[in-house]
Amino acid sequence: MTTVKKRRRLKKKFKLLLFFIIAFIIIFIVYKNFFTSSNNDESNNNSDSNTSKKNYDITDNIESDHDSAIDTIFANGMNIESYKAVVDQNTNYIKSNAKYNYIDYDFDSKLHYSEIEDIIKNMNNSDIVNVEIIGKSVDKRNIYGIEIGTGKKVLYLDANVHAAEIANTLILTKFLSELVNDYESGDEETISMLKSVKLAVILCMNPDGYEVYNFGVNSLNNKSLWMYQNKDNIDFENIKSNANGVDLNRNYPVQNAGLYFSGKKLLYNVSLTKTTSKTAYFGGEELGSEPETRAAMYFMLKHYKNTYAYINLHSQGRVIYAGKPNLSNKFNKITLKFAKDIAKINKYTVYGLSSEEVGEGNDGSVTDFMAELANGFVMSSKTGRLSTDKHINNSCELKYSYPVITMETIRTYTRNPEYFKDEYYNYGIRSVLYSLLKWSYE
């Protein structure tokens, strides 16, 4: 009996020991996971903190040919703290728990900007769409950055930087609505595409100008703005500026904006002061001065590293501009090929480098900014502009291999959406936009 009892006691002790060992292992695993999670949380917090203190890619260099290349600088560079504020801007996505409703828009009528906002907010009800308020206009209208799709490759489109060029705001509204409608209806091809691609779109870069051109200057809320104060002298049929009287498409802090080169003269269409002339445009006394410019810069800086194609849409002439004389030969080669591929679809006329100027006071466009980012330019604290080694450097590195073009739809400015509908369906724009998605998808 004694031997049996001893065995029983040993078994009990062994079971008890085994229980404590298992309990210890469980406690250790739980504690380790908790500790790791805490460290990860702290690391994430630090990461968030580091994100708020981003590497701005700011250089204190200045182009080696700065003194010899430049004759006159007539606009100040962008304030570096203002540039940092753009880079540091927090995301401002619109939350939505509402149900998506089919968007029934087919160029039936002109739309107030508020009606476009309603369509954007409805799109945001789809799980394939994220809408961000990226800034406000001079007259305090929201400017929206729209992201559609979950892919890593980004197709970047924007429109209506010039007030009278409203066509593409409605053309893109139709295209995006159609795309999201198809996704919501379960179209397999659309679903598959949007898993591979992401669209980054600003439907309207100049909402005040859009509203004024369509519905009159009284649509401005703030009657003290330059556009309203000068309403009796402005040709609203050809208006390009924002409500401050600044041509946004000359206001970007790019390498050669606000200056002209030695041996060259200021182009006839550049004004050094605010003007009501329909043939001359004022780019601002300081680059990056306008809230609309800074909003678009934020969205471009957010997406350019993943972009595979960029198109800035304008509304006059059925032409495509492709090329930047001050940038790399490789960039210009892929940009020209891209433009010609599009022209095979919509039959637009392509203009290459011979139709582009640089250093004549006309620089500072949206495409200049996006193209220079592709070529690895960084902001200079000395110039307040994107910068590289020289003012014209055709051997500079193409860091991000995407084409940048300006595409001008329709023949000339008009408010009649029937012309936009015709352009969309009968002049190849719908086919171009879908092809842009499929080129990456396929």
Residue 42 confidence class, pLDDT cut points 50, 70, 90: very low
**Is the pLDDT confidence value at 3 over 80?**
no
Residue 45 confidence class, pLDDT cut points 50, 70, 90: very low
Query: pTM score, two decimals?
Result: 0.88
Q: Which of 159, 249, 240 is nearest to 429 (CA)?
A: 159
What pLDDT is recorded for position 396? Answer: 82
Q: What is the mean pLDDT of residues 131-146?
A: 98
Tens of pLDDT, residues 363-393: 999 999 999 999 999 999 999 999 999 998 8
What pLDDT is recorded for position 12? Answer: 60
**Is the pLDDT confidence value at 6 over 90?**
no
Question: Which segments within 55-206 are labelled E, that is strand?
Answer: 58-59, 70-73, 129-136, 142-148, 153-159, 197-202
What pLDDT is recorded for position 15? Answer: 60
What pLDDT is recorded for position 176? Answer: 98
Tens of pLDDT, residues 319-373: 999 999 999 999 999 999 999 999 999 999 999 999 999 999 999 999 999 999 9
Residue 40 confidence class, pLDDT cut points 50, 70, 90: very low
Residue 37 confidence class, pLDDT cut points 50, 70, 90: very low
pLDDT above 90 covers a percentage of the chain that reads 84
Contact yes or no for 160/166 (Cβ under 8 A): yes
Which of 18-32, 123-137, 209-223, 420-434 shows the lowest mean pLDDT across its residues?
18-32
Whole-Å CA distances, 183 to 30, 178, 346, 435:
43, 9, 25, 17
> 44-48, 209-213, 392-396: which has the highest mean pLDDT?
209-213
**Burial label, 434 (beta-carbon count in 10 A; 0-12, 13-18, 19+):** middle
Structure tokens at 364: 């500072």
Contact yes or no for 424/107 (Cβ under 8 A): yes
**Burial label, 149 (beta-carbon count in 10 A; 0-12, 13-18, 19+):** buried
Residue 56 confidence class, pLDDT cut points 50, 70, 90: confident
Structure tokens at 47: 């990461």
What pLDDT is recorded for position 43? Answer: 33
Between CA 296 and CA 161 the distance in angstroms is 10
Alpha helices in 185-266 (DSSP H): 188-196, 207-215, 226-229
pLDDT above 70 covers a percentage of the chain that reads 87
Of residues 19 and 151, more confidently modeled: 151
Of residues 433 and 33, more confidently modeled: 433
Between CA 364 and CA 419 the distance in angstroms is 30
Residue 7 confidence class, pLDDT cut points 50, 70, 90: low
What pLDDT is recorded for position 48? Answer: 35
Tens of pLDDT, residues 76-123: 999 999 999 999 999 999 999 899 999 999 999 999 999 999 999 999
Tens of pLDDT, residues 244-283: 999 999 999 999 999 999 999 999 999 999 999 999 999 9
Tens of pLDDT, residues 413-429: 999 999 999 999 999 99
Q: Average pLDDT over the chain, rounded to whole?
A: 90
The bridge status of strand 259-261 relative to strand 197-202 is unpaired
**Is the pLDDT confidence value at 17 over 80?**
no
Between CA 202 and CA 210 the distance in angstroms is 13
**Is the pLDDT confidence value at 211 over 70?**
yes
Looking at this protein, which amino acid is placed at residue 65? Answer: D
What pLDDT is recorded for position 30? Answer: 46
